[in-house]
Amino acid sequence: PRGREALEARQIQQTWPMELITNGIVDQLTGGEVAFESEDEEVSDAEAALQDAIRDVITGPHLMDDDLDDLIAAAVADMLGPGNGYWQLLPSEDGSLPVVSMVPLDALTVRHNSNRHGYPQDPPYYQASDAFSSDGVGTLGNITPTPLGRGDLAVMRYPGARRSYQVYPKSPCMQIRDTLVLLANSTTHHNRFYNDDEIPAGVIQVMNANDSTITDLQDKIQAAAGDPRSVEVIGGEGAAQWIEMGGTAINLDVIQEQQWFLQLCLAAVGLGKAEIGMIEDVNRANGEGEQSRVFKRVTGPFAKQFNAAFQHICEQFDVYNELDQPFKPKLRFSDPREERAREERLREMFQAGGLTRRQYARRRGDEDLADDDMTVEINGETIDYGDLPKDVLEHKLAAVRGETVNEDDVGDQSGTDE
């Protein structure tokens, strides 16, 4: 259904260099947790219950005992190959819930229903579910396409692969395919055994050939320089047979070819050998830099695709829309340098009075601390120190104690007051 180009992109994705890269990307993306970001600090009971329900839907278990990591791995492989990843959203059996489970769809079986200008039509997708199986390509003439609506699929595409002139993404494997096709078409001796200008010594054996036939054979062999074994059979009562007697075969350095192909695959993805762990580097500083580059080029962009898929799942629930979409689901990962920088920014905001202690704890991801009781009683007055910025709290405590606060001292404090 996606055509020969997509099938060839899948075959390239299944080569060992691309599988190596796929494993590296999947390793970066799996093991994360589903978090919910909300502008409101206080989460209502209805929102909390909805978050728990959506988290259960996203994390699984799904069909065939898949969990979220399995769905991510399947989508990454399809995004690197044909360009799109698809999750089918399965409702409850009685139809009371729009999504209760998901299953990955083979990207080669899904076709976007677009007009010649690229605009989606109704239905937006078709799936030929039996086009590919363990036995290979099916008989397309016997397949009835299944229409799929927007609510039936979560669609992801390879980050940065959008092109204005085509419906489907220009995935790394599509780019590699174009490069290989160009090389195959421009290199004359690509399919030849000998050098282009060489006709090795040999004899032609043909039965009952006249002079005209011999002349024709000579012309054909001259035209087939580089691989005289491929010359077509002319005249005679039997097949002509070329018996080579020497010649120099083209020097094919298999190791160098594989290294070149690996470099091509890495370049298409935008990574280097060190960044996917193929080169050991004892320099810790360089290692941290590589982690950040992988996060910027791979983890972050791919996570945005999955976050958009999670958001699409949320929008299938009426209660989520009725609550005015109170939160957004995120696939949260931990990049060491980014986490340290974020922690430092939050600490500075807290010290400057831009965050309350409760807000500081919640943005750090410490929900248990944020939900703890943060009240203290001084001179008969109860103070909720979790809801007051640091400088306001200092003034409040000083006023209750009957003390005088030095403004400069408040602004210069640098402790974390954990």
Report domain extents, the chain: 1-190+254-333, 193-244, 335-418
Question: What are 333's two structure tokens?
Answer: 């990962």
- Residue 129, helix vs strand vs coil: coil
How far, in whole angstroms, is CA 75 from its chain's centroid?
7
Residue 164 structure tokens: 């204005």
Instruction: Return per-residue pLDDT of the chain as tens, 418 residues.
Output: 788 899 999 999 999 889 988 888 888 888 888 988 887 767 788 888 999 999 999 998 998 899 999 999 999 999 999 999 999 999 998 888 999 999 999 999 999 998 888 888 989 999 987 655 545 555 555 667 889 999 999 999 999 899 988 899 999 999 999 888 877 766 555 555 555 555 556 666 666 777 787 787 777 777 766 565 565 555 555 555 555 555 555 455 666 778 888 888 888 888 776 666 555 554 544 455 556 666 777 878 998 999 999 999 999 999 999 989 999 999 887 656 667 777 888 888 888 888 888 888 877 777 777 777 777 777 777 777 777 888 787 877 777 777 665 555 544 444 444 4
Rounded CA-CA distance 282/151 in Å is 49
Rounded Cα distance, 65 and 61, in Å: 6
* 120 in Cβ contact with 149 (< 8 Å): no
Task: Please give the backbone phi and psi of residue 264, each rounded to the nearest 5 degrees, phi first.
Answer: -65, -45
Q: DSSP state, 233?
A: P
What is the C-alpha separation between 148 and 132, in angstroms, rounded?
Answer: 18
pTM: predicted TM-score of the whole model, two decimal places: 0.66
- Token look-up 């090389």 returns 183
CA distance 171 to 80: 6
